[in-house]
Chains A and B, each alone.
Chain A
Amino acid sequence: MEQYFNQYIIVAIFIIIGIALPFGALTAGKLLRPKAPTKEKQTTYESGNEPVGLSQVQFNVRYYMFALLFVIFDVETVFLYPWAVAYQELGLFALIEMLIFVSLLVVGLIYAWKKKVFEWDSI
Chain B
Amino acid sequence: MDNMIEQLSIGSVSLVTLATAALLLIVLVFVTYGIYFERKVIGWIQLRQGPNRTGPFGLLQTVADVFKLLIKEDTIPNNADKTVFKLGPIISFIPAFVVLAVIPYTENLYFANLNVGLLYYVALSGISTIGILMGGWASNNKYALLGGMRSVAQMISYEIPLVISMVGVILMTGSLNMIQIVEGQAGGFWSWNIFPQIVAFGIFIIAAVAELNRTPFDLPEAESELIAGYHVEYSGFRFAFYMLSEYVYIYAIAGLTTVLFLGGWHAPFAFLSFIPGLIWFIIKFCSIVFFLFWIRATMPRLRVDHLMGLGWKVLLPLSLVNIFVTAIVLELLK
Contact = CB atoms under 8 A, between A and B. Distances in A.
A74 B162 CA distance: 11
A81 B115 contact: no
A104 interface: no
Contact of A7 (B13, B114, B145, B156): B114
Interface in A18-60: 18-19, 21-23, 25-26, 28-29, 32-37, 41-47, 51, 54-56, 59-60
Contact of A118 (B170, B232, B241, B308): B308
Among A3, A19, A22, the one with the most B-chain Cβ atoms within 10 Å of its Cβ is A22
B237 A25 contact: yes
Contact of B78 (A6, A43, A99): A43
A10 B17 CA distance: 8
Interface stretch (B50-58, B261-269, B284-292, B320-328): B320-328
A23 B146 CA distance: 28
A87 interface: yes
B160 A74 contact: yes
Nearest to A119: B305
Interface stretch (B67-75, B202-210, B249-257): B67-75
B298 interface: no
B316 A73 contact: yes
Given A2-B8, A17-B24, A84-B167, A26 B238 contact: yes
A22 B93 contact: yes
Interface string A98-115: 110010001001001100
Contacts, number: 217
Contacts of A99: 324
Contacts of B149: 59-60, 63
Given A6-B5, A13-B20, A35-B73, A44 B156 contact: no
Interface residues of A, number: 73
Contacts of A10: 5, 16, 20, 101, 111-112
B171 A84 contact: yes
A56 B73 contact: no
B141 interface: yes
Most buried by B among A17, A26, A84: A84
Contacts of B317: 106, 109
Given A22-B241, A25-B237, A118-B313, A17 B305 contact: no
Nearest to B66: A25
A73 to B, nearest CB: 5
A69 to B, nearest CB: 7
B77 A54 contact: no
User: 5 closest pairs, A vs B, by CB?
Assistant: A120-B305, A84-B170, A18-B97, A70-B156, A10-B112
5 contacts: A54-B79, A81-B170, A87-B327, A88-B174, A113-B313
Interface of B: 5-6, 8, 13, 16-17, 20-21, 24, 70-81, 89-90, 93-95, 97-98, 100-101, 111-115, 118-120, 122, 137, 139-146, 149, 152-153, 156-157, 159-160, 163-164, 167, 170-171, 174-176, 227, 232-233, 236-238, 241, 304-309, 312-313, 316-317, 320, 323-324, 327-328, 330-331, 334
Given A10-B16, A25-B241, A92-B331, 13 more contacts: A7-B113, A10-B20, A18-B97, A21-B24, A70-B156, A74-B163, A80-B323, A84-B171, A85-B176, A98-B324, A99-B324, A118-B313, A120-B304
